[in-house]
Each structure stands twice: as structure tokens, then as C-alpha cells.
A and B are shown apart, each in its own frame.
Chain A
Amino acid sequence: QKEVEQDPGPLSVPEGAIVSLNCTYSNSAFQYFMWYRQYSRKGPELLMYTYSSGNKEDGRFTAQVDKSSKYISLFIRDSQPSDSATYLCAIRSGDGGYNKLIFGAGTRLAVHP
């Protein structure tokens, strides 16, 4: 079993739709959860960062962590064509306090006008 599982998609939605992206993870000790956006041939860009359980909102983006289910989600409201990218969930592993991240495989999202 992979430590972080993410459906690779692709996911295709019309402009204005609400998008739900999800990951599951295996280790209940994980505490730090991140979502990155990656455009083609570019580096990952940090979108959201959450610690432990709960919700965090930033503009059109909401990150949700459910530690009891080991499930993390990213919601995008009023999706735009510029949101078309690959979305990577990442979890900080290890007890060294540094950013050794385990990434999901990424979900490719296409928002069409």
C-alpha cells in the first residue's frame, strides 16, 4: 500500500464548477498536509498548508483534513480555466521536523470554458 494515494484523473469540469480533489494516506502519525499546483513543465507551487484536522480557506480554495479517516481534500469554488493544472497532495513525514514530503501521484484537472 502506498503511503499517499491520489486518483490521477484526468478530471474535466465546466467553468464555474466546484472541484473536489482527494487523497488518502496510511500513517495516522502524519500531521502536516499540503496541496501544490503544478502547471505543465513548471515547478510545484504551494497552495494550502494545514496542520492536523480541520478546514482552512484561502479565497476560492478550501483544504480539509479528516484524520479519523486519513483523508484530505481540496475544494476549488468557481473554477476557472486558469485552474487547469495538476494538483499534488503532500504530507510531511518523519520526525526530524524538516520537509521530507511524500507526494501523491497528482490529479490532472481541466476546466473548460
Chain B
Amino acid sequence: NAGVMQNPRHLVRRRGQEARLRCSPMKGHSHVYWYRQLPEEGLKFMVYLQKENIIDESGMPKERFSAEFPKEGPSILRIQQVVRGDSAAYFCASSPPKGIGNTIYFGEGSWLTVV
């Protein structure tokens, strides 16, 4: 069974460029979460999506960040006009539909470096 797949694993962007991070959930999982881990800090919730719906984006910065989970294809976390403070590890996680299990599985992360 393939786990949660994230790509790219490492991404370097210059200030002002755009970063796109992709996440394919585990097979059978329809719920996707994005978390961010800043250096020397714990993971912080960003957004929770189901197919074609953003359910909770309370952890997303108000500007420059957006997320989607289209009907077909992976979930995308998009960061426009990146700044140095966006340098972090971005983790995607997935879980089965509600009621089947509460377990959440994380991918290996995408490490964004802004130079």
C-alpha cells in the first residue's frame, strides 16, 4: 500500500516566486490535511479539505496561501510571492472518511527553502 505521497520533497524558491506543493492521499482516504513545521517548532494545522471542498482553513495565513483538493488529482498547497519566513517543512496527512477511523497518516513532507 502506498502511503501519503508528497512532492517535491525539496524545493528552493527565490523571494517573490510561487511554490506549489502536491499531495496524494492514501488509497481510500478522502480527507486531506496540511500542516506546517517551522524550524525548531511543532507542527501547526493549516487547512482541512475534502474532495472539492475546503472544510476548515483556520490555520492558513490570510494572504498568499491557498489550497485545493480537486475531484481528480492531488491536493495542492500554493504559496504565492514567497518570503524567507515561508521556509519550513510542509506536511500533508490523510484519513479515511469520518466514522471509519480516526487515524491520520502523514507524508514525508516537502521542505521549502526560500533564498
Give residues in A with beta carbon < 8 Å to B: 4, 6, 8, 32, 36, 41-46, 49, 88, 90, 92, 94, 96-106
Verify A98–B42 contact, CB threshold 8 A: no
Q: Is B95 an interface residue (CB 8 A)?
A: yes
From B33, B41, B42, B91, A99 is in contact (CB under 8 Å) with B33
Verify B106–A98 contact, CB threshold 8 A: no
Contact of A42 with B95 at beta-carbon distance under 8 Å, contacts A96-B56, A101-B43 already known = no
Contact of A46 with B48 at beta-carbon distance under 8 Å, contacts A88-B42, A101-B43, A103-B43 already known = no
Verify A88–B43 contact, CB threshold 8 A: yes
Interchain pairs with CB closer than 8 A, number: 64
CA distance A6 to B43 in the complex (A): 13
19 contacts between A and B (CB under 8 A): A41-B109, A41-B111, A42-B108, A43-B108, A44-B106, A46-B104, A46-B106, A49-B102, A49-B103, A88-B43, A94-B56, A96-B55, A98-B55, A98-B95, A99-B33, A99-B104, A100-B56, A101-B104, A103-B35
How many residues in B have their beta carbons less than 8 Å from beta carbons of A? 26
Give residues in B with beta carbon < 8 Å to A: 4, 31, 33, 35, 40-45, 48, 55-56, 91, 93, 95, 98, 102-109, 111
**Residue numbers in A under 8 Å from B55 (CB-CB):** 96, 98
**Residue numbers in A under 8 Å from B40 (CB-CB):** 8, 105
Verify A99–B106 contact, CB threshold 8 A: no
**Residue numbers in B under 8 Å from A98 (CB-CB):** 31, 48, 55-56, 95, 98
